[in-house]
């Protein structure tokens, strides 16, 4: 794959030549609007690999967390340590979990202490409306950490006043409740939501308790749109085997506040504050032996604007400022400040071709810089066939844990360099009027100074180090069939291989835990008489390990305001680990009922 950039260019040139010999492409129906790129655009018009997942009422009824829907895409590898989103990591196309950037309405959520807390999104599930995944290097758009890709969790102003209540129980002492109240007054909407999720644990020291509260305010005024988010969460859990052979316990807590203000139709300003604390006890029943207290604070401010230079040319530009700080008895007191500016030009021609050229400069206090360009192009060969390709650079900063942490099993290094990577991808897409969709493509990521923990023997101490020249190459394919507008069947596969030439027999902790083969078959349906159903069968094989199947099934029935439901997980009762050394539960079920009313 060393000639991949040249192959991409040849592919694009061939496509342009073929397209030039065909008549003008007719109009296409715009199905989904994607905001995970510079300029909001219909999903079919993007030149990057983007997945958009709607979390509508049916989706929320049939699942507990949006991670249930991330598992539908085999290019997204969900690493869970317990059910229902408890300390869950996400790998995109085989990247390390720290190489995934998590956003909430475009605002960074990545934790500066450790990437294990990146998905501590404080909003209850009822407050979420959509999840968008941008695959491949994306630092030219979003800055640090977007090496493997970006997950943008989105909210939406309610369209009516509504009260929703939900309760359920299940195996392993699972006890869940949630509530949300949405109200509308002229140009103001307010949504209050709450969720509670308890479990006594499926094994020793694997109990957990999740609590989340959130307030979302949406205001329309002469100035523009104002969105205010206030949220907090509290998630203590038993962490047996999470970080080594210890019966540990941990309590992360988070507070989040964000203000986003549109100024007219072209300009947007935002400010966000995030505070996160982590109480970690190595031996749960003997906290005096080893206990850590970590406190982090993150500030973010941004100003973004879009201008139309012509009917088919858009210029996007803006600037952002960040500050993160940590105070820890183990990691010490540290602070980082940086600012960035970006510029992107997007153009469309002849209703057939589209191009994006962009770049971002990140400047750190002390003078260090990171420059990240991106380029992508797409072309419609006909009304149904499209080619696209992209190339982008990205970087990741080491977390404070990577730099300064020390315990009996893991040691950081203050001399770590930032990771850098180039990623390339190309794909062909076919859309038969929305009833049948097919996509097949390839991707490559060339990583330099990758950050991971390594050791020389199974009994050695994990030491944080930079690993040079990690190359990952993969293929992905997806076929989606929509039957009678109420049923959706998806068949998808991702194959991946990674290579390195500098470890000399050392064992890595995260780098080579990726799936070499991952396939899934999913079915979602709205059936007669108010019945809803969702099923997913996946088969995953990690490097050096045997494959295992996972089958999940959810059913519900809408009876006016009442909706009883049942969720079944791991119906194959497979014995598996998504994090090495951390067992996952066997077959389980959750049953409950939801009540809602609108006015």
**Two tokens at 426?**
């190309």
Average confidence (pLDDT) over 10-18: 35
Q: Return the CATH superfamily for domain 4-156+178-598.
A: TonB-dependent receptor, beta-barrel domain (2.40.170.20)
Answer left, alpha or beta for residue 44, where phi above 0 means left and psi between -120 and 50 means alpha: alpha
Helix residue ranges per DSSP H, 379-460: 400-404
Average confidence (pLDDT) over 490-501: 90
- Band (87; pLDDT cuts 50, 70, 90): confident
Q: Reply yes or no on whether the pLDDT at 26 is more than 50.
A: no
Q: Reply yes or no on whether the pLDDT at 44 is more than 80.
A: no
pLDDT of residue 35: 59
b (16+ CB within 10 A) / e for 364-395 = beeeeebebebbbbbbbbebbbbbbbbbbbbb
pLDDT of residue 37: 61
pLDDT of residue 30: 45
Residue boundaries of the structural domains of the chain: 4-156+178-598
- Band (33; pLDDT cuts 50, 70, 90): low
Q: Reply yes or no on whether the pLDDT at 424 is more than 90.
A: yes
Q: How far apart are CA 74 and CA 490, in angstroms?
A: 11
Dihedral pair phi/psi, residue 70, rounded to 5°: -65, -30
Q: How far apart are CA 597 and CA 599, in angstroms?
A: 7
Q: How far apart are CA 437 and CA 11, in angstroms?
A: 21
**Could you tell me which of 236, 225, 206 has the C-alpha nearest to residue 81?**
206
Q: Reply yes or no on whether the pLDDT at 504 is more than 90.
A: no
- Partnered with residue 562 across adjacent β-strands are 559, 595
Average confidence (pLDDT) over 541-552: 93
Tens digit of each residue's pLDDT (9 = 90 or more) over 337-346 = 999 999 999 9
Tens digit of each residue's pLDDT (9 = 90 or more) over 384-410 = 999 999 999 999 999 999 999 998 889
**Dihedral of CA 285/286/292/293: which sign?**
positive
- Taking a C-beta distance cutoff of 8 angstroms, is the pair 392, 372 a contact? yes
The CA radius of gyration of the chain, in Å to the nearest whole number, is: 23
- Residue pointed to by tokens 């598996």: 576
Q: What is the DSSP letter of 399?
A: P
Q: How far apart are CA 399 and CA 405, in angstroms?
A: 10
Q: Reply yes or no on whether the pLDDT at 185 is more than 70.
A: yes
Residue 261 host element (H or E): strand 247-263
**Could you tell me which of 566, 592, 584 has the C-alpha nearest to residue 201?**
584
Mean pLDDT lowest for which of 205-209, 420-424, 468-472, 475-479? 468-472
**Could you tell me which of 494, 429, 517, 473 has the C-alpha nearest to residue 4?**
473
- Taking a C-beta distance cutoff of 8 angstroms, is the pair 67, 55 a contact? no
Q: Reply yes or no on whether the pLDDT at 1 is more than 60.
A: no
pLDDT of residue 25: 39
Average confidence (pLDDT) over 532-546: 93
- Taking a C-beta distance cutoff of 8 angstroms, is the pair 93, 77 a contact? no
- Band (432; pLDDT cuts 50, 70, 90): confident
Tens digit of each residue's pLDDT (9 = 90 or more) over 121-149 = 999 989 999 999 999 999 999 999 999 99
Distances (CA, A) of 416 to 8, 460, 511, 513: 33, 20, 16, 21
Q: How far apart are CA 463 and CA 442, in angstroms?
A: 33
Mean pLDDT lowest for which of 9-13, 50-54, 70-74, 89-93? 9-13
**Dihedral of CA 402/319/37/226: which sign?**
positive
pLDDT of residue 79: 87
Residue 196 CB neighbour total at 10 angstroms: 16
Distances (CA, A) of 67 to 125, 346, 538, 562: 11, 32, 14, 25
> Higher confidence at residue 486 or residue 589?
589
H helices then E strands: how many in the chain? 5, 36
Average confidence (pLDDT) over 298-303: 96
Q: How far apart are CA 89 and CA 77, in angstroms?
A: 8
pLDDT of residue 110: 94
pLDDT of residue 5: 42
Average confidence (pLDDT) over 286-307: 95
Mean pLDDT lowest for which of 52-56, 92-96, 538-542? 52-56
Q: How far apart are CA 138 and CA 124, in angstroms?
A: 27
pLDDT of residue 380: 93
pLDDT of residue 521: 97
Average confidence (pLDDT) over 271-297: 96
Q: What is the pTM of this model?
A: 0.91
Q: How far apart are CA 331 and CA 274, in angstroms?
A: 19
**Two tokens at 539?**
């088969």
Share of the chain above pLDDT 90, in %: 72
Contacts (Cβ under 8 Å, ≥6 apart) of 346: 38, 39, 313, 314, 316, 354, 355, 356
């Amino acid at each position: 794959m060393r000639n991949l950039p040249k192959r991409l260019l040849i592919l694009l040139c061939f496509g342009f030549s073929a397209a030039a010999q065909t008549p003008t492409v007719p109009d296409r129906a715009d199905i989904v609007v994607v905001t995970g790129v510079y300029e909001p655009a219909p999903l079919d018009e993007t030149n990057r690999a983007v997945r958009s997942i709607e979390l509508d009422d049916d989706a929320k009824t049939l699942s507990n967390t949006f991670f249930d829907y991330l598992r539908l895409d085999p290019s997204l590898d969900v690493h869970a340590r317990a059910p229902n989103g408890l300390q869950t990591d996400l790998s995109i196309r085989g990247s390390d979990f720290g190489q995934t950037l998590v956003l909430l309405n475009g605002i960074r959520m990545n934790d500066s202490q450790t990437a294990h807390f990146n998905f501590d999104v404080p909003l209850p599930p009822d407050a979420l409306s959509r999840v968008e995944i941008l695959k491949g290097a994306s630092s030219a758009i979003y800055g640090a950490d977007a090496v493997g890709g970006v997950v943008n969790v989105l909210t939406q102003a309610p369209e009516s006043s509504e009260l929703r209540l939900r309760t359920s129980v299940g195996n392993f002492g699972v006890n869940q409740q949630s509530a949300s109240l949405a109200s509308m007054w002229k140009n103001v909407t307010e949504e209050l939501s709450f969720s509670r999720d308890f479990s006594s644990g499926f094994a020793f020291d694997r109990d957990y308790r999740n609590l989340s509260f959130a307030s979302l305010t949406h205001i329309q005024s002469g100035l523009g749109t104002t969105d205010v988010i206030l949220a907090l969460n509290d998630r203590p859990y038993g962490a047996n085997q999470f970080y080594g052979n210890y019966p540990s316990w941990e309590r992360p807590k988070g507070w989040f506040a964000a203000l986003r203000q549109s100024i007219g139709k072209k300009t947007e300003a935002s400010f966000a504050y995030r505070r996160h604390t982590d109480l970690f006890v190595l031996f749960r029943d003997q906290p005096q032996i080893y206990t850590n207290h970590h406190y982090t604070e993150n500030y973010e401010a941004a100003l973004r604007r879009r201008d139309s230079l012509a009917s088919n040319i858009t210029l996007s530009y803006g600037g952002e400022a960040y500050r993160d700080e940590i105070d820890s008895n183990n990691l010490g007191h540290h602070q980082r400040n940086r600012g960035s500016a970006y510029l992107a030009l997007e153009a469309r021609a002849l209703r057939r071709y589209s191009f994006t050229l962009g770049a971002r400069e990140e400047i750190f206090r002390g003078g260090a810089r990171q420059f990240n360009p991106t380029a992508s192009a797409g072309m419609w060969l006909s009304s149904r066939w499209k080619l696209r390709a992209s190339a982008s650079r990205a970087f990741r900063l080491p977390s404070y844990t990577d730099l300064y942490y020390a315990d009996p099993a893991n040691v950081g290094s203050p001399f770590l360099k930032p990771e850098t990577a180039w990623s390339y991808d190309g794909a062909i897409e076919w859309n038969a009027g929305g009833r049948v969709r097919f996509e097949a493509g390839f991707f490559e990521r060339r990583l330099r100074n990758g950050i991971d923990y390594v050791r020389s023997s199974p009994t050695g101490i994990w030491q944080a180090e930079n690993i040079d020249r990690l190359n990952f190459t993969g293929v992905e394919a997806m076929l989606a069939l929509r039957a009678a507008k109420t049923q959706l069947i998806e068949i998808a596969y991702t194959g991946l291989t990674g290579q390195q030439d500098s470890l000399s027999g050392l064992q890595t902790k995260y780098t080579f835990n990726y799936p070499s083969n991952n396939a899934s078959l999913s079915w979602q349906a709205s059936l007669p008489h108010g019945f809803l159903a969702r099923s997913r069968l996946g088969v995953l094989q990690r490097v050096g390990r045997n494959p295992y199947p996972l089958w999940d099934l959810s059913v519900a029935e809408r009876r006016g305001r009442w909706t009883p439901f049942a969720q079944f997980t791991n119906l194959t009762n497979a014995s598996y680990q998504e994090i090495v050394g951390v067992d996952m539960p066997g077959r389980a079920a959750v049953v409950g009922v939801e009540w809602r009313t609108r006015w």
